[in-house]
Amino acid sequence: GESVGLHLPTLSVQEGDNSIINCAYSNSASDYFIWYKQESGKGPQFIIDIRSNMDKRQGQRVTVLLNKTVKHLSLQIAATQPGDSAVYFCAEKANTNAGKSTFGDGTTLTVKP
Amino acid sequence: NAGVMQNPRHLVRRRGQEARLRCSPMKGHSHVYWYRQLPEEGLKFMVYLQKENIIDESGMPKERFSAEFPKEGPSILRIQQVVRGDSAAYFCASSLTGVADTQYFGPGTRLTVL
């Protein structure tokens, strides 16, 4: 079956450093990938997405990299701030499963002042 | 422009009672999704609905769970005869279109079954 997994359940970084959160997926048909941020007691918040015809996409302080060869996705956060502390989820969708997103289990990012 | 609304935010039920969770999608969105999240875990897809239609219910338990999205009003996730294992956070998301489109999430309903 499909699965999406994150390499590390927790990540601790110093304020101002860059953070890299990794994700692996198994479904070769996945063609749309999303990163979400979830703060305690809240719903997931969209951060950035990327489609399978791209290998890199940049937003404000965030970059998503997609390597379809090894089915790997990463989220890079530049100059990490205390407000970035949260659980980060990668999710994937495939046109063959229109609508359904498959989520990984999440990486908890802690930013130390 | 209000986001996805869910109510109630917290719901406590005793075993055997019914739970009704409501979701109002973002304005203009006609695609709704329900996910369940257990503590320390990711979100698990339950059901995908469009107005008056269930598109994909592959993640819904076969018994006690049902969902609807009527022509008028919010989407409802209904859990009959709740058990302790139903305790979880239930999130609703909506999107403008269904295929490869960003889903925007509501704040969730935290269900506790005593």
The 10s digit of each residue's pLDDT in A6-29 is 567 899 999 999 999 999 998 888
User: What is the C-alpha separation between A45 and B88, in angstroms, rounded?
Assistant: 19
**Between chains, do A99 and B91 touch, taking CB under 8 Å as contact?**
no
Identify which of A46, A95, A104 has the shortest CB distance to residue B99.
A95
Confidence of residue A97 (pLDDT cuts 50, 70, 90): low
User: What is the C-alpha separation between A42 and A95, in angstroms, rounded?
Assistant: 28
Report the DSSP pairing between strands A107-112 and A10-14.
Answer: parallel
Has residue B14 got a pLDDT over 80?
Answer: yes
Please report, in angstroms and rounded to a whole number, the separation of the first and last CA atoms in chain B: 37
Q: Is B56 on the interface with A (CB under 8 A)?
A: yes
Has residue B111 got a pLDDT over 90?
Answer: yes
User: What is the C-alpha separation between B62 and B58, in angstroms, rounded?
Assistant: 9
Q: Is B2 on the interface with A (CB under 8 A)?
A: no
**Between chains, do A93 and B106 touch, taking CB under 8 Å as contact?**
no
The residue assigned the tokens 């609807």 is: B68
